[in-house]
Amino acid sequence: MIRRLAIALTLVPFLVTPTRAHLNSPNVYLEEAVGPWPAISTVQMPPAVPGEARVEIKLYDLHPGEPVHVRFREIPPAGDDAAPPWVDATPLSADASSFIAPMPLMRLGVWKARLEVSGARGTGTIDIPVAATMPPSRSMTPSLILILATLSSFLLVTATLITRALSRDVYTAGRPVKPRTTTIITWVTAAGFLGVLGMHGLAWRHFNDLLAMRTSRSMRAIVTPTAGPLVAGKPGELDLRAVLGKGRQVEDVAPDHGKMMHAVVVKVPEMTYFLHAHPRMVEPGQFLLTLQAPEAGRYEIFADVLSSYGVADTLTSFVDVGPGDATRATSFPDPDDSDTVTKPIGDAATSGTTYDIGSGLTMRRVSPAGTTIPASTLADLGFELDGPDGKPVDALQPYMGMAGHLLILRDDRVVFAHVHPMGTVANRMSMPGAHAAMSPEEHAKAMASMASRIEGARVSFPFGFPSPGRYRLFVQVKYQDAVRTGVFDVDVR
């Protein structure tokens, strides 16, 4: 009986299905001039909060010996009135054009890293939104589950055997306890042990869920087909709801690049189909997404939502598509929607530095050089579009106000990032009054300002890969009134 109890306890931990945590960019990258000073700013986030972030700013075209003064101030969620005084940023000894400053994040919420650069050219100030949230839950590895299950079983069996042995040695009025009484005592002890263990587990889970609901904006997506199961080759509509906590629908949704949501749909695990769409918002937190998958299989959805406070969340979900015709959409509800069919990740067609887009166009990866990219290091991911003659095209067109968009996925899909030429900060959040909703006129002006920066056929994205692995890059630009998508696989070490 005791052996069967130990075996049952050993299997209990395996009945819990761990969940995968998807993360967007863990650090913040912003390539934006600080007044008259062209610069790129980086906020390296701590692994947990409270913790200390590191703010770094690199000034471009700084002349040798040119005097410059860089100050930093952290703005807590409570606002400017609760902010500490300005502090001077420290120049790096290895690079006189780079300056660093510590940024203690003592509580959860939306902070601002305020940087001021002054010199002979003038003075400029910029605010960088920093969302200090709870880190995503990590799933247990199989080896750790096995170790914990073994130790728990050993502890229970040992406690039960000790109780059984003690009960046999108990005498009442000179008579030993009956075997049946010994068995009852043993089972009561085992049940009490399991009860205490279970109560501690439930209490910890309740506390963790309560803390997450109160201190984190971590969202999840509920996706439901509106007209039955999806079939390959036929357009289907998905009801996509963004919810918080135990299902409360999100109400605070702000536009990013003129869209209320950016949704990426990828066929998994091979990543042979890619869709970048912009679902129509029916009401705050509820969207309708049209999907015409080219083949049967499982598809994963990554949906970016921005709040009026500048906190960006990535919702994830899966949808299964049944067998049907091998066709895909040729038109979309939104003119900025686009899709592409490509080779599986790791294929030779996507593992080089050039990619055949079709229509005589070729996209080249021009930076960084080399076959591998170092992890946890800021990289300039540069791409160029070549015409049928092998030369760069005359100029790219604005694509949602920018020169391009870069979607990054690791081969296990645990890392996902949506990057812009200015970095990982949403465009509206780098402007003055970052935490106030922009009017339609202000948004149109900001988009036009960014579009005016597009020059030639090249686009680049500042980004630091958070961890080693194989990544797939979907690079999207607009040329001759059509969205062109290049696909590149890179190794990060």
Instruction: Please tell me whether residues 298 and 231 are part of one structural domain.
Output: yes
Look at residues 187, 165, 189 and name the one whose alpha carbon lies nearest to residue 177. Answer: 165
Instruction: Please tell me whether residues 109 and 92 are part of one structural domain.
Output: yes
Instruction: Please tell me whether residues 379 and 489 are part of one structural domain.
Output: yes
Mean pLDDT of the chain: 83
Asked if residue 423 lies in contact with residue 28, where contact means CB atoms within 8 angstroms, the answer is yes
Strand partners for 45:
none
Query: Cα angle at 74 between 70 and 75, to 5 degrees?
Result: 130
- Assess whether pLDDT exceeds 50 at residue 430: no
The reply to whether 491 falls in a domain is yes
Which is it for the CA torsion 270, 273, 274, 280, positive or negative? Answer: negative
Instruction: Please tell me whether residues 250 and 296 are part of one structural domain.
Output: yes
The reply to whether 26 falls in a domain is no
d(CA 479, CA 393): 9
* Tokens 């705050």, residue located: 284
- Provide the CB-side half-sphere exposure for 63 (13 A, CA): 6
The pLDDT score that the predictor gives to residue 16 is: 34
The pLDDT score that the predictor gives to residue 84 is: 95
The reply to whether 207 falls in a domain is yes
CATH number for the domain including 230? 2.60.40.1930
In Å, how far from its chain's centre is CA 493? Answer: 19
Report the b/e string of 114-137 with b at 16+ CB within 10 A.
Answer: bbbbbbeeeebebbbbbbbbbbee
Instruction: Please tell me whether residues 311 and 439 are part of one structural domain.
Output: no
d(CA 391, CA 116): 41
Last residue of a domain, one of 80, 113, 132: 132
The most confident of the ranges 64-68, 195-199, 214-218, 469-473 is 469-473
- Assess whether pLDDT exceeds 80 at residue 305: yes
Amino acid symbol at 237: E
Q: How far is CA 215 from CA 131, 133, 209, 212, 244, in A?
A: 11, 7, 10, 5, 11
Q: Where are any strands of DSSP class E within 107-149?
A: 109-119, 122-132
Q: How many residues does the chain have?
A: 493
Question: Could you give the number of structural domains in the chain?
Answer: 4
Instruction: Please tell me whether residues 159 and 255 are part of one structural domain.
Output: no
For the sheet with 378-386, list strands across it.
Answer: 354-358, 361-367, 378-386, 458-464
- Three-state SS string over 328-341 comes to CCCCCCCCCCEEEE
The pLDDT score that the predictor gives to residue 97 is: 95
Instruction: Please tell me whether residues 346 and 406 are part of one structural domain.
Output: yes
List the domain range (segments joined by +) for residue 112. 32-132
Question: Tens digits of per-residue pLDDT, 341-372?
Answer: 999 999 999 999 999 999 999 999 999 988 79
d(CA 54, CA 48): 13
Q: Where are any strands of DSSP class E within 387-446?
A: 405-410, 416-419
The reply to whether 289 falls in a domain is yes
Strand partners for 478:
397, 483
Last residue of a domain, one of 194, 215, 236: 215
Tokens of 212: 């997450």
The reply to whether 382 falls in a domain is yes
Task: Average the pLDDT over 77-84 and give the result.
Answer: 93
Q: 134 or 85: which carries more pLDDT confidence?
A: 85
Q: 377 or 6: which carries more pLDDT confidence?
A: 377
In Å, how far from its chain's centre is CA 267? Answer: 18
Tokens of 360: 């005589």
Report the b/e string of 298-330 with b at 16+ CB within 10 A.
Answer: ebbbbbbbbbebbbbbbbbbebebeebeeebbe
Instruction: Please tell me whether residues 223 and 326 are part of one structural domain.
Output: yes
Last residue of a domain, one of 215, 239, 254: 215
Question: Tens digits of per-residue pLDDT, 223-271?
Answer: 999 999 999 999 999 999 999 866 789 888 888 888 999 999 999 999 9
CATH number for the domain including 84? 2.60.40.10
pTM (2 decimals)? 0.76
User: What is the longest distance spanned by two Cα atoms in the chain?
Assistant: 105
Give the Cβ contact number of residue 265 at 10 Å: 21
d(CA 43, CA 56): 6
Instruction: Please tell me whether residues 353 and 472 are part of one structural domain.
Output: yes
Tokens of 215: 């201190």
The reply to whether 92 falls in a domain is yes
d(CA 183, CA 187): 6
Instruction: Please tell me whether residues 260 and 315 are part of one structural domain.
Output: yes
Instruction: Please tell me whether residues 393 and 254 are part of one structural domain.
Output: no
**269, containing H or E segment:** none
The reply to whether 383 falls in a domain is yes
Asked if residue 279 lies in contact with residue 287, where contact means CB atoms within 8 angstroms, the answer is yes
The reply to whether 237 falls in a domain is yes
Instruction: Please tell me whether residues 482 and 371 are part of one structural domain.
Output: yes
The pLDDT score that the predictor gives to residue 22 is: 46
258 — alpha (psi -120 to 50), left (phi > 0) or beta?
Answer: left
Confidence of residue 139 (pLDDT cuts 50, 70, 90): low
Question: Tens digits of per-residue pLDDT, 13-45?
Answer: 333 333 343 456 678 999 989 999 999 999 999
